[in-house]
């Protein structure tokens, strides 16, 4: 097998950008242990253990002419105690040894010279493991004539008590704190420096921040970051609850169980997934699917329904209780799914199936449900509510042009709560729901800030409506609500822009004079009607309700900037006719799109010329919590900590193997 280990399955990078090459993710030496050093576990959390012994043929780590010593051992024991063979420790038969090879480039010079390094590998995988006793464990792999790779694992203490019966986990994909500041400015009015209303998130009794970096890179993607939030384990970019081994295969990598899966296995609870993205996308997939390559959309859909297939399964998953979002193309018959309509298949498994907001609202709350509203992503809040002619460009799940009967995030979330509440009450269980404001990230990538901020305000409105609805159905006191992001973008607001003046200027330098900073930034014109001064103290009502702009396209808009950009032009106005496409590809790479913001001034990119969109950033992202257990989410956290805090609130940690029956 020949592949570049770094680039395998990559969705976000091309070889030209790879400044840091690695032989294998999370493998500091020629002996690899997955889960790696510094891994924490929830007591009783299921996982796989994989070890690899590698021998490069050439390069800086060349060993023994590429010959792997077959005499390697893996031992485990409590900290300071005796080490015993892993098979004995877990009470398993010793697994079969795998033998294969791969190649990688050590650096850009090696790639330019087309001089790869071949690596021979011997490996073993131990499946379906659990650690029940809280404390620290030593893991030692001995290989290649006495060399060792050591890992320290820690099992967290079990909770003193169960704080919450239900959990609703909101993810604002790509939502950094700067976006919330901008959304507050658009959706809420200030008078003499005092906001007259604020975001619902501003009222959270539990408030903190979390670090988003990856296992082996300081910039993450949504697969790795969502896996960290839901399993408590850092992954490599593109990995969904599975460590990326060196095989190059999408499946069979060592897996870890998510808190949603633990909740289902231990309590038989109800689990739902809502997203405005195509539903096989990384964040919804991270709830309960396992692959090192997030692009395996057909299998992600299969895992939602049946769990991990083949020899890698753990316990009977029996399907999510509801799945709402976009991505109808992944449910249509095709070569990847045996030319079977997944809509028909899910219906045959007892799911209600719907394609519109009207059908969603008509669902029986007592039955499991699948609702897919578009091909690709569900339309943005701005297009659903302000520039609605763009809905005629949306594509239905069956492939027809025009999709006006779409729900928003609030519609999907409240219906999901009703179904999960009804079903859990009938079965005497709790429920867990993941609801993703996915299009924040999609629009930030293409620098379409107005649509992105509309999604942020929609998320805040959804959280407000969720808390109210939980109170109405009697679940507020039993439900922990967590709101966070999986990562951020390098975005901020630095002033205002006089768009009328900008349009009248004939040079880029002249257009830049339209930017007002400090005292010249003025007040938010989004909270007054057109042609009304922003200094007016009257509180005007938005046509879309409290918490939204009175007007989306004032003369004086926010002026904003980005840390990482392709070539593009900026006029700071709403793109009313289409979502932004900032750069287009020509013979030299991505360059200014002549059809995008052509009245704006040129902003030369700082990314590689093969990148046509913005990218994620390192910035810490906010964490908000309401309800029982909210106090756990204060302070600065690492992203995996959130999974442990949810598990603590639900009392998921167990000192023995616990499995409860799930009732469809």
pLDDT tens-digit series, residues 85-136: 999 999 999 999 999 999 999 988 998 999 999 999 999 999 999 999 999 9
How many Cα neighbours within 13 Å face the side chain of 349? 21
For strands 583-586 and 589-592, give the pairing. Answer: antiparallel
Residue 314 or residue 113, greater confidence: 113
CA distance 399 to 397: 5
CA distance 333 to 76: 47
Please give the structure tokens belonging to residue 543: 């046509």
Could you say which DSSP state residue 547 is in? T
7 pLDDT more than 60: no
How many Cα neighbours within 13 Å face the side chain of 225? 28
Answer yes or no: are the C-beta atoms of 254 and 232 closer than 8 Å.
Answer: no
2 pLDDT more than 80: no
Question: Any catalytic annotation for residue 222?
Answer: yes
**pLDDT tens across 482-510, in order?**
999 999 999 999 999 999 999 999 999 99
Beta bridge partners of 322: 272, 369
Band (pLDDT 50/70/90 cuts) for residue 21 is confident
pLDDT of 313 reads 67
Averaged pLDDT for residues 207-224: 94
Band (pLDDT 50/70/90 cuts) for residue 1 is very low
Averaged pLDDT for residues 257-286: 97
**pLDDT tens across 169-182, in order?**
999 999 999 999 99
**pLDDT tens across 140-160, in order?**
999 998 999 999 999 999 999
- Give the residue ranges of the annotated binding site for Zn(2+): 173, 441, 445, 486-487, 616
pLDDT of 625 reads 98
- Give the residue ranges of the annotated binding site for Mg(2+): 173, 281, 283, 436
9 pLDDT more than 70: no
- Give the residue ranges of the annotated binding site: 173, 281, 283, 436, 441, 445, 486-487, 616
Q: How far is CA 619 from CA 199, 330, 460, in A?
A: 21, 33, 21
- Which segments of 571-629 are extended strands (E)? 583-586, 589-592, 601-603, 616-617, 621-626
- Which segments of 284-347 are extended strands (E)? 322-326
Question: CB neighbours (10 Å) of residue 296?
Answer: 22
Dihedrals φ, ψ of 267, to 5°?
A: -110, -5
Non-local CB neighbours of 626 within 8 Å, separated by 6+ positions: 204, 205, 206, 463, 467, 480, 481
pLDDT of 79 reads 81
216 pLDDT more than 60: yes
pLDDT of 448 reads 97
pLDDT of 20 reads 65
CA distance 491 to 213: 17
Placement of tokens 């909270």 in the chain? 527
Which of 10, 222, 524, 639 does the annotation list as catalytic? Answer: 222
Whether the upstream peptide bond of residue 35 has omega within 30° of 0, thus cis, is yes
11 pLDDT more than 90: no
Q: DSSP of 157-195, one letter per residue? A: PPPSS---SEEEEEEETT--HHHHHHHHHHHS-EETTEE
For strands 431-437 and 583-586, give the pairing. Answer: unpaired
């Amino acid at each position: 097998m020949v592949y570049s280990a770094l680039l395998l399955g990559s969705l976000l990078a091309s070889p030209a950008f790879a400044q840091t090459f690695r032989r294998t993710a999370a493998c500091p030496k020629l002996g690899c242990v997955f889960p790696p050093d510094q891994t924490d576990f929830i007591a009783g959390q299921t996982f796989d253990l994989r070890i690899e012994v590698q021998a490069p043929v050439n390069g800086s780590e060349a060993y023994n002419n590429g010959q792997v010593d077959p005499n390697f051992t893996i031992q485990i024991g409590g900290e300071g105690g005796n080490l015993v063979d892993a098979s004995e420790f877990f009470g398993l038969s010793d697994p079969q040894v795998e033998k294969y090879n791969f190649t990688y480039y050590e650096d850009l010079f090696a790639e330019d010279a087309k001089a790869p390094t071949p690596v021979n590998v011997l490996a073993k995988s131990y499946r379906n493991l659990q650690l029940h006793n809280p404390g620290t464990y030593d893991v030692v792999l001995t290989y290649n004539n006495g060399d060792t790779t050591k890992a320290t694992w820690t099992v967290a203490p079990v909770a003193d008590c169960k704080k919450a019966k239900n959990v609703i986990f909101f993810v604002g994909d790509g939502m950094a704190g700067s976006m919330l500041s901008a959304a507050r400015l658009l959706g809420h009015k200030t008078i003499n420096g005092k906001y007259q209303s604020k975001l619902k998130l501003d009222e959270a009794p539990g408030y903190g921040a979390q670090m988003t970096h990856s296992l082996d890179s300081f910039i993450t993607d949504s697969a790795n970051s969502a896996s960290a939030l839901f399993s408590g384990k850092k992954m490599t970019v593109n990995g969904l609850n599975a460590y990326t081994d060196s095989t190059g295969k999408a499946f069979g990598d060592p897996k870890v169980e998510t808190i949603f899966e633990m909740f289902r296995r231990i309590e038989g609870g109800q689990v739902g997934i809502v997203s405005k993205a195509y539903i096989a996308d990384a964040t919804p997939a991270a709830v309960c699917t396992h692959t090192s390559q997030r692009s395996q959309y057909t299998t992600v859909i299969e895992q939602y329904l049946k769990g991990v297939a083949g020899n890698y399964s753990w316990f009977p998953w029996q399907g999510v209780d509801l799945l709402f979002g976009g991505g109808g193309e992944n449910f249509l018959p095709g070569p990847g799914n045996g030319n079977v309509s997944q809509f028909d298949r899910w219906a045959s498994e007892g799911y209600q199936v719907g394609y519109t907001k009207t059908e969603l609202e008509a669902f029986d709350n007592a039955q499991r449900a699948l609702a897919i509203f578009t091909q690709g992503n569900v339309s943005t809040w701005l297009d659903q509510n302000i520039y609605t002619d763009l809905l005629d460009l949306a594509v239905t799940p069956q492939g027809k042009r025009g999709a006006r009967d779409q729900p928003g995030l609030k519609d999907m979330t409240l219906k999901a709560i009703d179904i999960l509440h009804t079903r859990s009450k009938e079965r005497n269980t709790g429920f867990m729901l993941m609801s993703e404001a996915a299009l924040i990230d999609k629009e930030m990538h293409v620098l379409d800030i107005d649509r992105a901020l509309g999604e942020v305000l929609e998320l805040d409105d959804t959280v407000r409506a969720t808390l109210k609805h939980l109170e109405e159905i009697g679940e507020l006191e039993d439900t922990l609500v967590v709101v966070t992001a999986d990562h951020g973008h390098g975005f901020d607001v630095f002033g205002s822009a006089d768009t009328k003046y900008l349009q009248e200027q004939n040079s880029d330098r002249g257009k830049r004079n339209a930017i007002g900073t400090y005292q010249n930034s003025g007040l938010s014109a989004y909270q007054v009607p057109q042609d009304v001064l922003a200094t007016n103290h009257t509180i005007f009502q938005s046509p879309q309700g409290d918490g939204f702009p009175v007007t989306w396209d004032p003369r004086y808009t926010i002026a904003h900037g980005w840390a990482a950009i392709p070539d593009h032009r900026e006029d700071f106005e709403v793109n009313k006719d289409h979502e932004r496409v900032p750069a287009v590809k020509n013979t030299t790479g991505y360059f200014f799109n002549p059809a995008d913001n052509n009245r704006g001034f040129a902003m030369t990119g700082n990314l590689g010329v093969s990148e046509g969109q913005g990218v994620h950033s390192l910035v810490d992202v906010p964490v908000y919590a309401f309800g029982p257990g909210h106090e756990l989410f204060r302070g600065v956290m690492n992203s995996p900590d959130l999974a442990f805090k949810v598990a603590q609130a639900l009392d998921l940690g167990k000192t023995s193997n616990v499995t409860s029956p799930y009732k469809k």
